[in-house]
Amino acid sequence: MVMSVSSSRPAVRPAKTVRENTIEKGKQGLVIGAVLGAAEGFTRKSWLSTKGEPSDSFVKNVSKEMQKALKPEDKSEVTKVNKFFEALLDYRTEPSELRERIEKSKELSNAVIKKEGETTQTALDRIFAQDKPLLKQELRDLQNRTTIDKKVDLHAAKQLVKTNFDASAKKFKRSADTSKEMFSVIKKSMQNVRLKRTGRDTIIGGILLGITGMLVGATQHNSKSKKA
């Protein structure tokens, strides 16, 4: 009886198609590009503008973080003040709604100018009895007398950034006039901008090197085909 002898030679793998080879190289480029892009985005001082100064978008981020750092009751007052002035700019808003917003806000109520002997309610009665143009003007003047919103607006954010930015070293250093809590607002904003930039650079880097990898895969395959 003749025993069959199995071949010890490894099975020959079929040659990869152009599509398979291209996709493989594209995936390799995508991974490498994502890693390089993430590293680039994380190490870059993305909070700086092209002029080497803190960018406007960074200052806006600082302003948002300043508002988050407020006590809950102060944060609520900032929202009420901002919503009031948004409503004031809307021509569709009725005077009764504006008055209600003032009455529900401690900050806005305190900003109402009261004549001698007036309470907040009697002062509002007098103010809202005016013609609409005069009423609107007086209500706009309320903003000059509010304080809580000015602690977290863009001007306050710019001042905080300016006070703690070392222009020569292009980095932030806590000044003697800035508390640890407020400086942490700057650091938090730096982290936010850095993570956003990292995410963007990760995607861009991955796409660019992914495309490059696909081109390399197709080129290598065509080169092998010509030699064959």
pLDDT at 53: 86
Provide, rounded to the nearest whole percent, the portion of the chain with pLDDT above 90: 49
pLDDT at 22: 55
Is residue 8's pLDDT more than 90?
no
Residue of higher predicted confidence among 31 and 175: 175
Residues 192 and 141 in one domain: no
Residues 188 and 200 in one domain: yes
Report residue 59: phi and psi, to 5°.
-60, -40
In terms of residue numbers, what domain contains 94? 71-150
- Which of residues 134, 150, 166 is at a domain's end? 150
Cα separation of 128 and 95, whole Å? 7
Question: Which tokens in the block code for residue 114?
Answer: 């009261």
Domain assignment present for residue 3? The answer is no
Q: Averaged over 46-61, what is the pLDDT?
A: 82
Residues 37 and 106 in one domain: no
Residues 65 and 76 in one domain: no
Q: Averaged over 207-213, what is the pLDDT?
A: 48
Is residue 200's pLDDT more than 90?
no
Q: Which long-range contacts (CB under 8 A, 24 or more apart) does 9-16 make?
A: 16/221
Is residue 217's pLDDT more than 60?
no
Domain assignment present for residue 115? The answer is yes
- In angstroms, what CA-CA distances link 29 with 15, 16, 133, 220, 224? 21, 18, 64, 14, 20
Domain assignment present for residue 228? The answer is no
Tell me how many domains the chain contains: 2
